[in-house]
Amino acid sequence: MARKISYQQAINEALAQEMRRDNTVFHHWRRRGRRCRRPGEDDAWGGVLGVTKGLYHQFPGRVLDAPLSEIGYVGAAVGAATQGLRPVCELMFVDFAGCCLDQILNQAAKFRYMFGGKAVTPLVMRTMYGAGLRAAAQHSQMLTSLWTHIPGLKVVCPSSPYDAKGLLIQAIRDNDPVIFCEHKLLYSMQGEVPEEVYTVPFGEANFLRDGDDVTLVTYGRMVHVALEAANNLARQRSTAKCWTCAPPARWTKTAFSKAWKKPAALVVIDEANPRCSMATDISALVAQKAFGALKGPIEMVTAPHTPVPFSDALEDLYIPDAAKIEAAVRKVIEAARSAA
């Protein structure tokens, strides 16, 4: 049996192993503010949630403090990636995307296309996302759909410690810019992770549970909420097939054929807001490519189309939970039975 470590430790280990293997890999970190006055103070502590603790002293000169300027240090990382280095820069919260969007949207994502495939930009931007820490509207958003919409970017949202390590190593070795999204509520999650170096390929569906009545599709932290709902449904004699998705643009025909042989009812779960989201994209893609396999309307379980509230009670209502998924499942199963 593999040893168990946390999601947080898995990311730290992936960074350390890749920096040890390849001296072109470095980590660019935004200093948190006035409390961190000396170089390395923030990263030696490990940042806002301790993910990179210890790397500054393990790799002198390759874990860099940056000023409070996302436009500056993300731009520097993009430039470094075009010059043969493999930077990993951290956008502390995905909510700060607006501060550096031009560097990613108009520069990193476009270089391969603008220069006829001759330019590579092996940049990884790590960022935290998601609600649940009572951090309110400016530190809790799900902006995965924003990144996925941009051609030239690869978007990764690991849901387990095993995936976090393997996907981050894969991201660092990839020659295209990767947005690596880490849900804040997953950092303490424990799971089996091999000590050796390994990669998890991009773009493959991960089937977690089989079932006959409904298919649940989701990603990131919502995988665990969907599995909780599936376990509850099993006790009610309804079974759910659960699988995690890659960005829809990279889904394979094999993933679709495995998913839609059975069952013919679909619920898509996404913590993001519903308009133009991953949930709507997945729903549209399934309706386009597998409409004949569906026996009822597709249901989405998402956050409402509002900013994340600060009130504890309202935030709990805002985030999709197992009860909401179970209600959606009962709705699609009833619709499928009525259509049969």
pLDDT of residue 244: 82
DSSP string computed for 13-70? HHHHHHHHH-TTEEEEEE--STT--STTHHHHHTTTTTTTTTHHHHSTTSEEEE-S-H
Cα 283 to Cα 265: distance, rounded to the nearest angstrom: 12
Tally: H helices and E strands in the chain: 13, 13
Query: Domain 2-194 falls in which CATH fold?
Result: Rossmann fold (3.40.50)
Give the Cα separation of 75 and 91 in Å (integer). 12
Residue 153: other Cβ atoms inside 10 A: 22
What per-residue string of b and e applies to 70-82 under the rule 16 or more CB within 10 Å gives b? beebbbbbbbbbb
First-to-last alpha carbon distance for the chain, in angstroms, is 45
Q: Which amino acid is at 329?
A: V
Contact 193, 3 (CB under 8 A): yes
The candidate with the shortest Cα–Cα distance to 24, out of 74, 62, 79, is 62
CA 168 to chain centre: 11
- Looking at residue 62, what is its pLDDT? 93
Distance between CA 16 and CA 27 in Å, rounded? 10
> How many angstroms separate the CA atoms of 167 and 199, rounded?
6
Contact predicate 322/232, CB 8 Å: yes
* Domain pair 2-194 / 205-339, same fold: yes
To the query of whether residue 139 is one of the catalytic residues in this protein, the response is: yes
Fold of 205-339: Rossmann fold (3.40.50)
Rounded Cα–Cα distance for residues 221 and 180 (Å): 14
Q: What is the DSSP string of 64-94?
A: EEE-S-HHHHHHHHHHHHHTT-EEEEEEEEG
Task: Mark out the alpha helices in 110-186 (DSSP H runs).
Answer: 111-114, 144-148, 161-173
pLDDT in the model for residue 240: 86
- Helix-helix angle 161-173:7-21, to 10 degrees: 30
Q: Report the pLDDT value the prediction gives residue 205, as an integer from 0 to 100.
A: 79
Q: What are phi and psi of 42, to 5 degrees?
A: -70, -50
Per-position pLDDT tens, the chain of length 340: 679 999 999 999 999 999 999 999 999 866 554 444 454 444 555 666 788 889 989 999 999 888 888 889 999 999 999 999 999 999 999 999 999 999 999 999 999 999 999 999 999 999 999 999 999 999 999 999 999 999 999 999 999 999 999 999 999 999 999 999 999 999 999 999 999 999 999 887 788 888 888 989 999 999 999 999 999 999 988 888 888 876 555 555 566 666 566 667 899 999 999 999 999 998 998 888 888 888 889 999 999 999 999 999 999 999 999 999 999 999 998 888 777 6
What is the chain's alpha carbon radius of gyration, rounded to the nearest angstrom?
20
Domain boundaries, the chain: 2-194, 205-339
Q: What is the pLDDT of residues 252-269, one digit of tens each?
A: 556 666 656 666 789 999
Name the catalytic one among 27, 28, 57, 139. 139
